[in-house]
Amino acid sequence: MIDMPIGRVAAAYAANRGAGPLAPGLAESQKAASPTAGLFGADATTAAAETDFGNVLDKSIAQAVDTLKESERVSMSAVAGKASAQEVVRSVLAAEMTVQSVVAIRDKMVQAYQEIMRIAV
């Protein structure tokens, strides 16, 4: 199991999100060289799925970070005597559920990566 803080994972993901695995010119030559290029619109479907999944992942990470920041803000307000116990409990529970969700997604992604690496080529 990988033991890495989620903030570091989110920062690394955000930093590498725009880079992509291939340079633009190389990606085009890879598509042209692919024996299945253009079959049933597979390339277009794959590109759309990658973009949609990437966007969903970006939005989910941003929402998770916002939830954690809000929880921290409410907790600090409570320390200053400006927030009720109910607000603190609600924000802490939301943050806890967010962290559990992010950890579960990370675990599934690591598991999928390990499965892909086991595929014989």
pLDDT in tens, 52-77: 878 888 888 999 999 999 999 999 99
First to last CA, the chain: 25
Q: What is the mean pLDDT of residues 77-91?
A: 94
Dihedral over alpha carbons 43, 47, 49, 50 (to 10 degrees) = 130
What average pLDDT does the structure give for the chain?
Answer: 75
What is each CA distance from 60 to 16, 55, 74, 106, in whole angstroms?
16, 8, 21, 12
Task: Identify residue 98 by its one-letter amino acid code.
Answer: T
In this prediction, residue 54 carries a pLDDT of 81
Distance CA 40, CA 109 (A): 28
Dihedral over alpha carbons 83, 84, 89, 92 (to 10 degrees) = 0
Distance CA 46, CA 44 (A): 5
pLDDT in tens, 26-35: 344 444 444 4
| pLDDT of 25 strictly over 50 | no
In this prediction, residue 20 carries a pLDDT of 43
Helical (H) or strand (E) element with 100: helix 85-118
Q: What is the mean pLDDT of residues 42-49?
A: 54
